[in-house]
Amino acid sequence: MAGCLLYVDPVNEAPEVLRITGPQTMVRGQEATFTATVHDANQNPETVPLAWGVVARDCPADLDGALSVSELMPPSGATLRWRAPSLGTFCVFAIATDDRGARTYSRHALAFVVVENQKPVANIELTGKPPMGPDGRYQLHGAFTASGAKSEDPERDAIKTYSWRPLRPAGLVRRTTMCPANDFCFDAAVPGEYELELVVEDDVGTASEPVRLSLTVADDQPPCIDVRPPPITIHRSSEDLVTLSLERVDDDGDPYKGPPQPINQQYVTWKFRKVHQGTTVEFDRFTEVRERHITIPPGTYRFPDVVQVRVQVTDRVARSFSACEAADVASCQLDARPNCYQWRTWTIEYR
């Protein structure tokens, strides 16, 4: 019997994607690299082309036929560069096909990726504030506006809500008048430490980390006044109309609107006395002053009359004027601030 040779064509096994490595979480717009590890018993794995696919859903538990070939990208190498287009869950997979066209759809690996929303970043800026002293403290009773307008979202989502929380001092509340909807406005009614907290939320519903603003408000200071004309000895004729004016009150930034009503707890007092040949009488308080100035009509006094008029301002804090009263000074200064006086006195000599 003649011998024979039996030739058997070896079976070509389809390549297999063993695993895919890459990030498990990403943020929207982030680009990442996914790498596939391939096994092929008949071919160098590095030369096996891969068809990558990404679908916006959970990776299926049953791999057979669960992913459509239509979802594959054109064949490429062992890595995939992919940019997360939106929030949600994505399945990254790859299918290997060898140079004989063999592939088994069920023999591929899957990578589960969650694309998360980035947190917005809260920011607080003082867009309205009173003057600050050289010691870094703000004036008492000043108006503040804390704005969160510079808060931003790294993915350019809109900031939907601004949640303010006053921390210090106790009882601090938002002023609603003349205050933008997303800002926190307040008046510093007491000295000490102030602190606010802001959390913003984007239109996806993700909240930022809280940020805080701290500032210090100075203790109450005695008010300072400006008058006109300057409080010096002035000479007038009996026929002259004399006008004396309180021009300005600077009381920790509070506005002055004129006597006689107490404005922001400022009390203005006008006093008068007549000097008789070198002796003086006690000041009497004017009771008919209705404006921020007083007038002495012509003919009220004549030579050799000497008249003194004093304007005095006190505020919400009770202070002693005894030193000024004992010295009978023309200008009373309760603290060392330059050009800050609590009363000024005019001396009018009639000729």
Residue 186 pLDDT class (50, 70, 90 cuts): very high
The reply to whether the predicted model has a pTM over 0.75 is no
More confident residue, 333 or 5: 333
Q: Judging by beta carbons within 10 Å of its beta carbon (0-12, 13-18, 19+), is residue 99 exposed, middle or buried? A: middle
Nearest C-alpha neighbor of 48 from the set 95, 108, 80, 111: 95
Q: Give mean pLDDT, residues 244-263.
A: 66
**How would residue 125 be classed by pLDDT, with cut points 50, 70 and 90?**
very high
d(CA 335, CA 344): 15
Q: Is the pLDDT of residue 3 over 70?
A: no
pLDDT value for 290:
56
CB 330 within 8 A of CB 299: no
State the Cα–Cα distance between residues 281 and 139, nearest whole angstrom: 39
Give 16-39 pLDDT, tens digit per residue: 888 999 999 999 889 999 999 998
Taking only the tens place, the pLDDT of each residue in 52-69 is 888 888 887 655 555 666
Give 192-208 pLDDT, tens digit per residue: 999 999 999 999 899 99
Instruction: State the DSSP code for 7.
Output: -
The three-class DSSP label of residue 69 is helix
Is pLDDT at 147 greater than 70 in this prediction? yes
Alpha helices (H) along 98-147: none
- Number of Cα atoms under 13 Å in the Cβ half of residue 205: 2
Residue with tokens 């993915």: 155
Domain annotation for the chain: domains and CATH numbers = 16-116 (2.60.40.10), 125-217 (2.60.40.10), 224-350 (2.60.40.10)
Rounded distance between C-alpha atoms, residue 225 and residue 227, angstroms: 7
Query: Could you report the per-residue pLDDT of 60-113, keeping only the tens digit for each?
Result: 765 555 566 666 788 888 999 999 999 999 989 888 888 888 876 656 678 889
